Amino acid sequence: MQSIIDLLRTALSILLWLSLSTLASASQPLSPELEEAELQQLLQQSLKLQQETIGLLDDIYLTESSILFPQTNLLVVILSQDYGATLLLEQLELSLNGEQVAVHRYSERDMERLMRRGVQTIYTTLIPPGAYSIGARLHGTGFAGGPSITSDLQFHKGSRPLFVEIVISGSQMVLKQWD
């Protein structure tokens, strides 16, 4: 796929070069046979080629982005904290299908933002449709029963972007799925 994109870029670069060289040749001294109308026609053709080339480059960029980063495969995990949560976070570990994919250590500034009802993006990735398991483990103080709490969520990723929210409420953690 990458070689096709490179080939298209090369072809468009050649088209742009040809249109610019046509314009440059039109600015050279004219022979007496060349009339003003022919010059205008040549300049219009050159400008049309340039505009088509720019349009094709835009199309290639959009196509490349949609192939490399399809929005239908998007998974975003965010963290929020309800007002009145009694936890002081030190670290969050996130796993997808049992494999650790993200670790975040919380600073005092991070905690202040979360306490003011801030939302933090923890993890963004592209995954194909299918069944998945996501797990979160929070380390800190204020947990009932130990220095950390865990929560898991089983979900099926369809053909639309998916958002998973880790909500800290009181001394509990809940994972919610948004479609």
Q: What is the pLDDT of residues 83-111, one digit of tens each?
A: 766 677 889 999 999 999 999 998 888 88
| Residue 145, pLDDT score | 63
| Residue 95, pLDDT score | 96
Is 79 exposed, middle or buried, given 0-12, 13-18 or 19+ CB atoms closer than 10 A? Answer: buried
Q: What percent helix, strand, coil does the chain show, rounded to 5?
A: 40, 40, 25
Q: Which of 178, 98, 99, 102 shows the shortest CA–CA distance to 138?
A: 102
Q: Kindly tell me if the per-residue pLDDT of 160 is higher than 80.
A: yes
Q: Which pTM was predicted? A: 0.60
pLDDT, one tens digit per residue, over 130-152 is 999 999 999 887 766 678 888 99
